[in-house]
Structures are given as C-alpha cells and as structure tokens.
Amino acid sequence: MTSPVRYDVTGEIAVITIANPPVNALGHAVRQGLWDAIDRFDADAEARIAIILGEGALFLGGADISEFGKPPKEPHLPDVCTHIERASKPVIAAVHGPALGGGCEVALGAHYRMAIKGARFGFPEVQLGLIPGAGGSQRMPRLTGVGPALDMMPAGGSVTADQALENGFIDHLADGDVHEQAMIYAKGLLADGVDVRRVGDLPCPAYEADAFDAARTLWTRKARGEVAPLTAIDAVEAATRLPFDEGIKEERRLFLSLMETPQRAGMIHAFFNDRKVSKLPELKGVAPRDIASVGVIGGGTMGAGIATACLLAGLPVTLVERDEASAEKARTTITGNLDAAVKRGKLKDAESTLTKLTTVTDYAALSDVDLAIEAVFEDMSVKHDVFTKLDAVMKPGAVLSTNTSYLDVTEIAAATSRPADVIGLHFFSPAHVMKLLEIVVPDTTAPEVTATAFALAKRLKKTAVKAGVCDGFIGNRILATYRGAADRMILAGASPWEIDAAIKAFGLPMGPFEMGDLAGLDIGFMTRQRKAPDRDPRDIVPKWADAMYHNGWLGQKTGQGYYTYEGRKGTPNDAVKPLIDEARGDRPQLDFTPEMIQRRYMAAMVNEAAKVVGEGIAARPLDVDVTLLYGYGFPRWRGGPMHWADSVGLDALLDDIKGWAKDDPYFWQPAPLLEQLVAEGRTFSDLNEASA
Ligand code: 3H9
C-alpha cells in the first residue's frame, strides 16, 4: 500500500508531503509515514533541512477521530511529534490552511513554523470531549505564554495566521503558494546557518495565578458539567510546573482519562451525526434545483428572522406583508438583526446587505423567485389563503414552503395545484441565529424539492433534519411530551423551580418553566386551547398554568411568570404555589430528588422519540439526537437523548416506564419500538448502523 506521506528532495531541502484526503487526518498510516520520513531525513546525507506540507485545502485536520475508542496503534501521535522534534536537522512546518488539534501539534513538534495568510491554527479537541494530547498543551505555552493557550484550549478555539505570528506560535508569515514560500524560507534559514530549535527544550512558561483563576471561574460557569474545558486548563497548568517530559506524561494521562469518559463518546457520536444527518439514501444522486432568490411571506419575528438568515447567506429576498406599515416594520426588524450581526462579527456591512431586500405588499412580486417561505399566522385557513395566492403567481419549478411548526403540511400542499413542489421548512426562533432546520416532507413532495431544501440549509449554514408530517414534527412533538412529564411531576410533588434546577444540572441551559417564561406563557395556553377539542379525557391539564395566563402572568414580557423578573434575572414566584396546591388537590405527594426528576423527564423524551422513530417521522434515532442538540439545548456532551438512553440501558428505562405506568397508564405508554429493541437486546445505535 502506498504511504500517504511522500518524501522528496530538491537540492538540500527535503519536502515531506502529507496527502490523506479529505482532511489529512493523522491516522495510523500517516503517523507511520511521518515517522519513516523523519528517519529518512535524518539518514539523508543530501538534505540539510526539511519542510512538512499538507496537500489539499487543509494542513492537517488532527487525529483520526474514527480511530478513537479502538485499540491505539503505534506510533502514537505524541511520539511522532517528539520524533519530529528530535530530528538532528531543522524541520519546518509550512501551514497554508487549517491546522487543527494534532495538526497544530505536528507543527509544534517542528523547529520552525511558517504560515501562509489565510491559514488557521486551532485546538478543537474539547468539542470532542478531549484535550490536546500530543504535546500541544505543553509546547504552545512555552512559545506563547499561558494566556493564548488558555484562550484557545478550553474553548476549542482558533487563531488566524496573523494572530499566531503576533503571539509567537509561528515564526514567519508569507503570502502566495505554500510550497514556493516554504522553499524560500528554508533557503533563508539555511543561509542564516540555523540549527534545530526544540520547543520542548524551552523553559517552563511562567505560572500566572490570575490567568488560571479567571479561566477556571469562566469555564466552571460555561462548561455546565462538561469536563474537558477544565481538564484543558489543568494540562496547561502542568506546563508551568513540570519539566517538559513530565508535562507530556501528565498531558497524556489527562487525555487518556478523558478518552474513557461517556462525554467523549457522546461528543464524537454528535460529530459524526452532524455529517450523517443530511446524508439520506433516498436523495443520493438527486440534484437540487437552483435557488438564486427567495420570497418570504410575513415579516413578524419569524419571517424577519428567516429573511435575515437568507440575506446573511447572500440571497436576495422579497418580503411580502399585508400593508405598507407592516412592511416597514419588518424592514426595521431586519435592519436591527443585521446590525446585531455586524456587532457579533458575522457580517461586514449591513447597508449593502440591505440593498438585497425588497419589501412589497403584492404577491405578484414573487412571480420570479425560486423559493418562497411562508411565515404567517399559524391557522390552516390563513395558510390555505397564502398558498392559493402563491400557486397563482409563482413560476413553474419554484419551491413553495411553509414555516409552520405543527400544522399538516400535506393539507397545506393540497391547497395548491402543485403539491410536489411544497415542503415544510421549520426554522427555530431566532431564525437567523438558531442552527436547526426541520425539513418537513409530505409523501407528495418531489425528491428534488427535498434535495433543494437540504441545499438551502447548507447555504444558510443550518443543520437540517428530515421530518415526517405529524403534530409538532420531530422536535415539538417530543417537547410536548417531556413538558407533559414536567407538569405531571408538579402534580406529584415537585416544584417548577426544583424541576428547572434538576434539568439544568443535567446540562440543559434552561429548565422547562424558565423556558416557558422566556417564550411567553401565552404560547402554552394557546397550544392547550388548540389541542382541547381532541384531548383524551385521561390527559391532564395544568390548571395552575391556565390560571397564570388568566392572571396576565405571561413570563418575562409581563415581569412575572414562574419567576418574577428584574430585567432578565428571575427569582421564584411564590404566588404560583397556591395555584399549584389547588391543582394538586389530595393527590399523593412524592419527595422528588434531582435524579428522579431527570429520570422521568428524560424517559418521557426518549419514549416519545422512540414513537417518532417507530412511526417513521424521524428516519433514524440519530435524527432525533441532532434535532434535540441543535434546537432544544440538549447538552452536546451527552450525545443526544437516544445516545443517552443507550448509555443508561434501554431495558432499565423500559422498566421505569412500566413502573410509572401503574399510576399513570395513559401517559406512560411504552413505545412499541422501545419494547421491540429491549426484547431483541438491541440499541438505538444498532438502528443507526443498520440504516448506514
Ligand atoms: C486531536 O487531534 C487529538 C490530538 O490532540 C491528540 C491525539 C493523540 N478524523 O466536516 P467535513 C471526515 S482530535 C477523521 O464534512 P468540512 C468527516 O467525518 C481531532 N475523519 O468537511 C467527513 O467524512 P464523510 C481534532 C474526519 O470541509 C469528511 O472528513 N480535529 C476528521 O466541512 C469531511 O469532513 C478536529 O476536531 C478527523 N479529524 O470541514 C477536526 N475530520 O465525508 C474535526 C473530518 O465520510 N473536523 N473528518 O462524512 C472538522 O472540524 C471538519 O471536518 C473540518 C473540515 C474543518 C476539518
């Protein structure tokens, strides 16, 4: 088998090229190839200096993630980096694109580092539940001091080539072709008579108590239970107190301890799912239609957010509102969104972006757009009216989409003469910020329309998940059930504040009642009203929540809900307690621990998710995991609810559900798929693999 690492010599310069598409990951063959190339260079009488290059768009994408969790094979990456460093003649790392994780560590093993403008240096390991494990935490602070390492490693962050030059990470910055520039740099170093210069031989970086205290305070708050960011700080601190060889051993110990954690497994599950979610077998080879312009119908918060997302992606937008005043209001909202994007560094210039926005009051202006996204009031007759108008004006081949969050998309499509062109695009609020897009596909939709929706999502930099048609699709349907579990726990003795605290301790950014206050408690009330006609008599209604609505306690926007607010800071609202007591009546009360709360909440989530997968609303368990991660704040380090369920054991979860069903058989009906998997001794992960 040919090695992915080439060794060539031009004059006195050895060029070691790593060519392992698509991202030059440092898998076993690359590590062995690099090791052998350094041996060859050492023994090469002609070559006096070596350059390491990466072929393709990246320098090196880091360790090969697909090898994690399998028995490691020698040579290990830390040893490869030390082998480079121990070379008897100078080695240059010449970086033209992203150098990530182990890629940065290979560069740090070299004696000299140069970059081409546009290159980036990053340590994304924490996003995989890990820390730099091939000397990065020990070598980088020796070059830059602890500050830049503490900025990057716990955050999984990166710096530009300019910043890397400024902080001492690299020695030289050039513009142009990397091979040419590296040759020029190498010749210059040879002319200067430079020798090897080993980062590992540099003294320990100074210990900076303030920097470590500040980093620990920040990451204890931000990490919300994730261990890797704080471990990264420990590793950098080790560089300040241990000799290099000892520091490397400590880093390895910390790295390997993380490798064994469920958090690492969860985050790598999430990494691969991010990529699998848009790979649908039925879309293989299906070409999307071209989308060069978009129409948005409705300029409220949602419509304006969608228009902003499209404008940020460079798409011209025509926004239809019912009258001039509403159109003007939508323009003002979009302008505000774009200004905020400039402040966040997501956009250079709001003014030129706004030139791509047209606001109109006449549907005729949509006659030439390639795709329309309807974002009007959630009412079937209103949607019918909009889609009849769209059908009348839009050109043949255009895509007609609805942003409904629960209505039947098949029924909306039926209002047109072209149901094959109709699809659901369920954005999450704020639409220009939230990453999730549920693509709701009725049976009537043409495959190329689905492919077009996925292509649009990519352009908008959204993570898209395919969902089938049902009330709430994947995410909101599951949400309705675990919210239901929270309401039942209130009746059974837990307080809303205990539930919020337990759910946050599990790793979600907010509990369900804080979330309700933020979204507005009128939304929940309206949903209950909508569902009332079809409500099963065995279901419960949170009467205290209805009373809160009637009292005008709508959450943050009225200053009181489950919490009372000063600004955005809430304190538990004691006035809710009597309302809850009344609703509880003489029901038996349990003494809930945080673990009991988490278990019921999660079991409800997983059980409904299993129904969603079993009914084909989500194609695979991984689609549920991605939906909950990107749309509902599920902690990434737990992988997603289905991954979590596998890790705690489906049989134990089913036993719990059956136990609770004794008191509440209506709510705790086990999902047939869950029962089937337990009976067959299989997992959600097995289902993911079977669909690959
Ligand atoms: C590390 O380095 C630890 C060390 O400190 C210590 C070790 C001892 N390995 O994302 P894309 C695959 S930890 C294996 O679609 P893009 C990916 O699955 C590592 N495979 O492309 C996909 O496969 P498929 C630190 C990898 O252009 C294909 O490549 N490094 C790896 O949008 C294309 O990927 C990271 O965390 C990998 N490292 O983005 C970098 N990376 O086609 C993680 C990618 O079958 N990677 N693949 O679906 C990324 O962030 C992005 O992939 C990257 C390219 C920015 C590189």
Q: What is the pLDDT of residues 631-680, one digit of tens each?
A: 999 999 999 999 999 999 999 999 999 999 999 999 999 999 999 999 99
Distances (CA, A) of 592 to 126, 484, 669: 33, 16, 22
Rounded CA separation 187/201 (Å):
24
Closest CA to 646 of 596, 688, 600, 583: 688
**Residue-wise burial string across 608-621, b where 16 or more C-beta atoms lie within 10 A, e elsewhere:** bbbbbbbeebbbbb
Distance 120 CA to ligand 1 centre (A): 15
Give yes or no for residue 511 CB within 6 A of ligand 1: no
Q: Which atom of ligand 1 is nearest to the CA of 271?
A: 18
State whether residue 464 is helix, strand or coil: strand
Q: Say if strands 317-320 and 112-116 run parallel, antiparallel, or are unpaired.
A: unpaired
- 627 and 643 Cβ atoms separated by less than 8 Å: no
From the CA of 105, give the closest atom in ligand 1.
5
Protein residue with its CA nearest to atom 40 in ligand 1: 61
66 CB under 6 A from ligand 1?
A: yes
Q: Atom 56, ligand 1: which residue's CA is nearest?
A: 61
Q: Can you give the pLDDT at residue 129?
A: 97
Contacting residues for 425 by C-beta, under 8 A, at least 6 apart:
373, 401, 402, 403, 437, 438, 439, 440, 453, 456
CA of 68 to the centre of ligand 1 (A): 12
The closest residue, in CA terms, to atom 43 on ligand 1 is 61
Q: Is the CB of 692 under 6 A from ligand 1?
A: no
Q: Is the CB of 102 under 6 A from ligand 1?
A: yes
Q: Do 605 and 478 touch, CB atoms closer than 8 A?
A: yes
The minimum-distance atom of ligand 1 relative to the CA of 128 is: 36
Cα angle, residue 587 at apex, residues 583 and 588 outer, rounded to 5°: 140
pLDDT < 50 stretches in the chain: none
What is the DSSP pairing of strand 98-100 with strand 120-122? parallel
Q: Which tokens hold the place of 513?
A: 């009642």
Is the previous residue joined to 124 through a cis bond, with omega within 30 degrees of 0? Answer: no
- Please report the pLDDT score of residue 568 as a whole number: 82
Q: How far is the CA of 274 from the centre of ligand 1 (A)?
A: 11
Cβ atoms of 616 and 282 closer than 8 Å: no
pLDDT at 605: 98
pLDDT at 1: 72
Q: Read off the pLDDT of residues 486-509 as tens digits, 9 standing for 90 and up.
A: 999 999 999 999 999 999 999 999
Atom of ligand 1 nearest to the CA of 123: 25
Instruction: Give the three-class secondary structure for 128.
Output: helix
* pLDDT for res 676: 98
Within a 10 A sphere around the Cβ of 35, how many other Cβ atoms?
17
Tell me the three state secondary structure of residue 438: strand
- pLDDT for 691: 84
CA-nearest residue for atom 11, ligand 1, is 275
Counting Cα atoms < 13 Å in the Cβ hemisphere of 212 gives: 19
Q: Is the CB of 62 under 6 A from ligand 1?
A: yes
Distance CA 688, CA 24 (A): 27
In angstroms, the CA 384 to CA 416 distance is 8
pLDDT at 149: 98
Q: What is the 3-state secondary structure (H, E, C) of 249-295?
A: HHHHHHHHHHHCCHHHHHHHHHHHHHHHCCCCHHHCCCCCCCCCCEE
Whether residue 23 has its Cβ less than 6 Å from ligand 1? yes
Contact 45, 82 (CB under 8 A): no
The pLDDT score that the predictor gives to residue 224 is 85
Q: How many helices (H) and strands (E) does the chain have?
A: 29, 19
Compute, in angstroms, the gap from residue 620 CA to the centroid of ligand 1: 23
Ligand 1 in contact with 90 (CB < 6 A)?
no
One-letter amino acid identity for 414?
A
Burial 275-309 (b: 16+ CB within 10 A, else e): ebbbebeebeeeebbebebbbbbbbeebbbbbbbb
The residue whose two tokens read 């902003």 is: 308
Using a 6 Å cutoff on CB, does residue 251 contact ligand 1?
no
- Whole-angstrom distance, CA of residue 639 vs CA of residue 653: 17
Residue with CA nearest ligand 1 atom 48: 275
To test the pocket of ligand 1, the residue of 65, 67, 127 to mutate (highest count of ligand atoms within 8 Å of its CB) is 65
Q: What is the pLDDT of residue 220?
A: 94
User: Reduced to 3 states, what is the DSSP secondary structure of residue 501?
Assistant: helix
For ligand 1, what atom is nearest to the CA of residue 57? 27
